[in-house]
């Protein structure tokens, strides 16, 4: 995916900086968002090829962002990788979907 655009969403600036450096050093373009509301705006304006998404954030959680991305036809197919310290998500997509469904 080098040359592709990755949206990094995390409220921890040091994590965003680390991921930006890692990705840019490997040829990826990056865009950053520091909360859920900004993430949804960046998805609309920057049209990323991939989203790295934290779950626990202010203003709008990563769970809500993930749900909103999946509900909109224009964003439903954007790949999302969850980058979080939250435990109990499971390692398989179906386990994550079950976990997401159990949250409000």
Tens digits of residue pLDDT in 24-63: 999 999 999 999 999 999 999 999 999 999 988 888 888 8
> How many CB atoms lie under 10 A from the CB of residue 74?
10
CATH homologous superfamily of 5-101: Response regulator (3.40.50.2300)
Per residue in 67-89, pLDDT tens? 999 999 999 999 999 887 766 65
- The full set of domain ranges for the chain reads 5-101
Give me the chain's average pLDDT, please: 87
What is the three-state SS of the chain?
CCCCEEEEECCCHHHHHHHHHHHHHCCCEEEEECCHHHHHHHHHHHCCCEEEECCCCCCCCHHHHHHHHHHCCCCCCCCEEECCCCCCCCCCHHHHHHHHHCCC
pLDDT of the residue at 30? 98
């Amino acid at each position: 995916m080098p040359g592709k655009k990755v949206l990094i969403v995390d409220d921890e600036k040091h994590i965003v900086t680390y991921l930006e450096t890692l990705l840019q050093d490997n040829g990826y373009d990056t865009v950053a968002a520091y909360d859920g509301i900004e993430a949804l705006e960046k998805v609309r304006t920057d049209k990323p090829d991939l989203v790295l998404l934290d779950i626990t954030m202010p203003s709008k959680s990563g769970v809500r962002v993930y749900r909103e991305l999946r509900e909109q036809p224009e964003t439903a197919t954007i790949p999302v990788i969850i980058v979080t310290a939250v435990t109990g998500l499971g390692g398989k997509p179906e386990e994550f979907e079950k976990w997401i469904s159990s949250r409000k």
